[in-house]
Amino acid sequence: MQGTDTHTGIKKYISLTRPHTLTAGFVPVLVGTASVLLFSSIRWDMFFAMLIATLLIQSATNMFNEYFDYKKGLDSRESVGIAGAIVRNGMSPRAVLNIAVIFYIFAALIGIYITVNSSLWVLVAGIISMAVGYLYTGGPFPISWTPFGEIFAGFFMGTVIIMITFYIHTGTLHYFPLLMSVPVAITIGLLNMANNIRDRKKDKESGRKTFVILVGKPIAVITTAALLLFSYIFIGWIAFFKPYGSIFMILTFLSLPIFIRTVKLMWKGSTPQELIPAMASMGKLNTMFGLLLTIGLLLYGITGI
């Protein structure tokens, strides 16, 4: 997890993407693709195109965040959880913004390829998602300054990406990937929540009105624990009581120890430095939950059990 280290050379460009957050980019594509096996075969060109485009958009969103937070005077050399490209690594704000735009251009080109091989609606959904990525920290009313940041992050990076991924393989929509997107959207939204818990003091000073600031840290942590618990119950309900359920879905329960550790770290930590492990643990939970769900769906698709 990034603290206040200084990076040079290729490392400063890698850190600019905020690698610990990229789990929110690849997990939905994996889950969406694995959901396809029950209905159709996987189109591997679509899989790789969607994966690359999503990672580009997620990385660019992080860079917009870096740029606009610097412009608003929110970042300093002591800030934790940021790439530090501008305040520590010596990159110019314009360079960070230019790289973000280049990433968006490449994502758009890949999106056009996907659209040509699927539907115009995919392009529309992609444009909206890219706009949200920019407006999360850019524009006159940044989403990240409101209580709805977690909802936007979870819905667009989780639900929308999973549904687009499913559609470009099958040419149809179905409630099954929508159900699979619920816990993924929650864990992605809570990755954002962990970030806001860590940054709550700085965010409050800047005038932000995030959910964490409005309700306070204790309620935010309790909300995190409740939503994560709901995610496991939800998967268990689908596995045993719904059509298209599979015993393999409960592989996600193997991530329960990480869930418990994450909540404990969030509850105990107070300062940004103390909450860095909690943020890292939340990223690990999102990754492991998503990978285990993907494996469960793949086994379900292969065996039919």
Compute the average pLDDT of residues 182-202: 93
Structure confidence by residue, pLDDT tens digits, 74-85: 666 565 555 567
Domain assignment of residue 1, yes or no: no
Spatial separation of the C-alpha atoms in residues 246 and 189, rounded to whole Å: 25
Predicted local confidence at residue 1, as pLDDT: 41
Helices (H), the chain: 10-16, 23-36, 44-71, 93-116, 120-135, 149-154, 161-170, 175-198, 200-206, 211-215, 217-241, 256-268, 272-303
Query: Six-digit token pair at 189?
Result: 């939204």
Predicted local confidence at residue 189, as pLDDT: 95
Domain assignment of residue 56, yes or no: yes
Q: Of 232, 160, 220, give the one whose Cα is nearest residue 190.
A: 220
Pick 287 or 14 by higher pLDDT: 287
Spatial separation of the C-alpha atoms in residues 93 and 177, rounded to whole Å: 39
Domain that holds residue 208: 10-303
Mean pLDDT score across all residues of the chain: 90
Instruction: Specify the amino acid at residue 263.
Output: V
Residue 4: pLDDT over 70:
no
Compute the average pLDDT of residues 252-274: 95
Percent of the chain past pLDDT 90, that is, above it, reads 68
Domain assignment of residue 74, yes or no: yes
Structural domains in the chain (count) = 1
Predicted local confidence at residue 66, as pLDDT: 85
Percent of the chain past pLDDT 70, that is, above it, reads 92
Spatial separation of the C-alpha atoms in residues 127 and 28, rounded to whole Å: 18
Spatial separation of the C-alpha atoms in residues 290 and 301, rounded to whole Å: 16
- Give residue 7's pLDDT band: very low, low, confident or very high (50, 70, 90): low
Predicted local confidence at residue 272, as pLDDT: 87
Predicted local confidence at residue 78, as pLDDT: 60
Q: Of 35, 39, 38, give the one whose Cα is nearest residue 47.
A: 35
What is the pTM for the complete model shown? 0.91
Domain assignment of residue 4, yes or no: no
Domain assignment of residue 3, yes or no: no
Domain assignment of residue 158, yes or no: yes
Residue 32: pLDDT over 60:
yes
- Give residue 211's pLDDT band: very low, low, confident or very high (50, 70, 90): very high
Structure confidence by residue, pLDDT tens digits, 117-152: 999 999 999 999 999 999 998 888 899 999 999 999
- Which CATH number is 68's domain given? 1.10.600
Domain assignment of residue 105, yes or no: yes
Cβ atoms of 18 and 2 within 8 Å: the answer is yes
Cβ atoms of 61 and 133 within 8 Å: the answer is yes
DSSP state of 176: H
Predicted local confidence at residue 256, as pLDDT: 97
Give the number of other Cβ atoms within 10 Å of residue 259's Cβ: 23
- Give residue 2's pLDDT band: very low, low, confident or very high (50, 70, 90): very low
DSSP state of 210: -
Domain assignment of residue 142, yes or no: yes
Give the number of other Cβ atoms within 10 Å of residue 114's Cβ: 22
Compute the average pLDDT of residues 245-261: 96
> Can you tell me whether residue 87 is helix, strand or coil?
coil
Give the number of other Cβ atoms within 10 Å of residue 241's Cβ: 8
> Can you tell me whether residue 138 is helix, strand or coil?
coil
Four-point Cα dihedral 119, 122, 127, 129, nearest 10:
180
Residue 221: pLDDT over 70:
yes
Residue 179: pLDDT over 80:
yes
Compute the average pLDDT of residues 7-23: 78
Q: Tell me which range, 16-20, 60-64, 106-110, is most confidently predicted by mean pLDDT.
A: 106-110
